[in-house]
């Protein structure tokens, strides 16, 4: 009944637009009829939003169809690496500016009658499960930004207490395993440099623990305890996933490094195409330690996901014009007043994205650490990643 009333209201609104009084003015060549300028200016951003959203929705559906067809045939999705000129051409696209514009557009308050059709299109395109949302009523969300950052019902994501490391977010497992030769796989067969991704090792005085070895390799600087190995896990958050991320274990955050960079798409197709994709993109690297030594969580930005928020870090401002690509900004949470850093409990709220993106965990653990995962599987926040 409620939906029927909304449809009637929408129909009356459209009819009223057709009846708007037209103004006529003359030129030497011809007469031109215009609708009231105020009405057109109000509708223009909404029409742009619907057009771009509809086009992207069609592209996403075609991409999903292609991947499903390959999976049905039992074939590995073909991998073709981009050339240097292709990467340079992609990076020349002003994705940072476009993402800032998209962010502002997301803040535009939608008319009450338009919220349900716009959000319903998004839900259908990306498979959003609104039954898990703390507020299921679509009219509650005044703009797209509020809808993207929706909270879940408390019982929707129970946190696994039996395993030492849990998934910090909903998403898809792109890759996981041991880090070898300072190269990390973003997807099978496509790698990126560990040092390029994390940046130079932070000064020893900022660490809550001293490095265990003076070995020159970057990997050995991260492994602080004898007998430990370095592990990694990459989780891709699709636009339809829950957009908040949480602490994957009990640990202490001592340092933050922000890399301004490009905002290229990080979907699995792009990760298979562009080598070192995560090193090109803007990202926020949180480092610290857990009971087995070094631990890090990196939030990687993407197209239209320039906004990365860390709840306890009010000084962090991502996708800002004041930061240039190729640089990085450090911030230490270890101070004279706080000698340890920021303690985080497993499952505690840590931060959020707008739209989808990627979380990368890099940490050390004993050699008998085992992942409870399969590459390509879907995972939800709170489920086990691995344990000893």
Q: Is the pLDDT of residue 374 over 60?
A: yes
112 given a catalytic annotation? no
> Tell me: the pLDDT tens digits for 267-285?
888 888 888 888 888 999 9
Q: How far is CA 290 from CA 46, 142, 294, 336, in A?
A: 47, 40, 6, 21
Element (H, E) at 87: helix 84-92
> Tell me: the pLDDT tens digits for 11-58?
554 455 444 444 444 444 444 444 455 555 655 665 665 666 566 556
The reported pLDDT for the residue numbered 358 is 92
Pairing of strands 251-259, 384-387: unpaired
Percent of the chain clearing pLDDT 90 (strictly above):
37
Instruction: Give 51 or 226, the one with higher predicted confidence.
Output: 226
- The angle that helices 95-106 and 37-72 make with each other, rounded to 10 degrees, is 120
The reported pLDDT for the residue numbered 23 is 44
The single residue of 99, 164, 167, 170 carrying the catalytic annotation is 170
The reported pLDDT for the residue numbered 54 is 63
262 given a catalytic annotation? no
The reported pLDDT for the residue numbered 305 is 61
Q: Is the pLDDT of residue 217 over 90?
A: no
DSSP for 144-195 reads HHHHHTPPBPGGGSPPPSSSSEE-SSSEEEEEEEE-BTTEEEEETTEEEEHH
The reported pLDDT for the residue numbered 382 is 94
Percent of the chain clearing pLDDT 70 (strictly above):
75
Q: Is the pLDDT of residue 294 over 70?
A: yes
Q: Is the pLDDT of residue 214 over 70?
A: no
357 given a catalytic annotation? yes
Two structure tokens written together for 14: 């459209």
The single residue of 243, 246, 255, 280 carrying the catalytic annotation is 246
Q: Taking residues 200-227, report their average pLDDT.
A: 64
> Tell me: the pLDDT tens digits for 334-362?
988 888 899 999 999 999 987 768 999 99
The reported pLDDT for the residue numbered 317 is 86
Q: How far apart are alpha carbons 171 and 241 in whole angstroms?
A: 6
The residue extents of the domains of the chain are: 165-203+216-387
Q: Is the pLDDT of residue 123 over 70?
A: yes
Q: Is the pLDDT of residue 216 over 70?
A: no
Two structure tokens written together for 227: 């007998």
């Amino acid at each position: 009944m409620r939906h029927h009333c909304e449809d009637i209201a929408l129909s009356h609104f459209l009819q009223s637009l057709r009846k708007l009084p037209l103004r006529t003015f003359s030129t030497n060549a011809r007469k031109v009829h215009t609708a009231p300028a105020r009405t057109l200016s109000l509708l223009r951003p909404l029409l742009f939003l619907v057009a771009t959203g509809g086009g992207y929705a069609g592209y996403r559906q075609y991409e999903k169809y292609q991947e499903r067809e390959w999976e049905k045939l039992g074939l590995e999705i073909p991998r073709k690496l981009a050339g240097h000129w292709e990467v340079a051409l992609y990076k020349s696209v002003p994705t940072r500016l476009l993402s800032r514009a998209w962010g502002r557009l997301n803040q535009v308050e939608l008319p009450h009658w338009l919220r349900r059709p716009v959000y319903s299109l998004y839900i259908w395109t990306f498979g959003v499960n609104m039954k898990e949302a703390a507020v299921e009523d679509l009219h509650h969300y005044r703009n797209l930004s509020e809808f993207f950052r929706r909270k879940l019902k408390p019982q929707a994501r129970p946190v696994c207490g039996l395993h030492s490391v849990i998934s910090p977010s909903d998403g898809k497992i792109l890759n996981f395993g041991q880090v070898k030769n300072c190269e990390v796989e973003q997807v099978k067969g496509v790698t990126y440099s560990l040092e390029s991704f994390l940046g130079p090792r932070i000064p020893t005085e900022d660490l809550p623990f001293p490095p265990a070895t003076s070995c020159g390799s970057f990997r050995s600087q991260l492994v602080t305890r004898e007998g430990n190995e370095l592990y990694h896990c990459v989780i891709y958050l699709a636009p339809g996933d829950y957009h908040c991320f949480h602490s994957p274990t009990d640990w202490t955050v001592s340092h933050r490094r922000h890399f301004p960079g490009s905002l290229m798409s990080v979907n699995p197709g792009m990760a298979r195409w562009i080598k070192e994709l995560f090193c090109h993109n803007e990202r926020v690297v949180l480092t610290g330690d857990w009971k087995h030594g070094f631990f890090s969580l990196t939030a990687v930005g993407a197209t239209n996901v320039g906004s990365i928020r860390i709840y306890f870090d009010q000084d962090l401002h991502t996708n800002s014009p004041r930061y240039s690509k190729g640089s990085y900004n450090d911030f230490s949470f270890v101070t004279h007043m706080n000698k340890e850093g920021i303690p985080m409990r497993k499952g505690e709220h840590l931060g959020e994205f707008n739209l989808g993106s990627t979380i990368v965990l890099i940490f050390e653990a004993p050699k008998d650490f085992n992942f409870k995962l399969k590459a390509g599987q879907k995972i939800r926040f709170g489920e086990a990643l691995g344990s000893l």
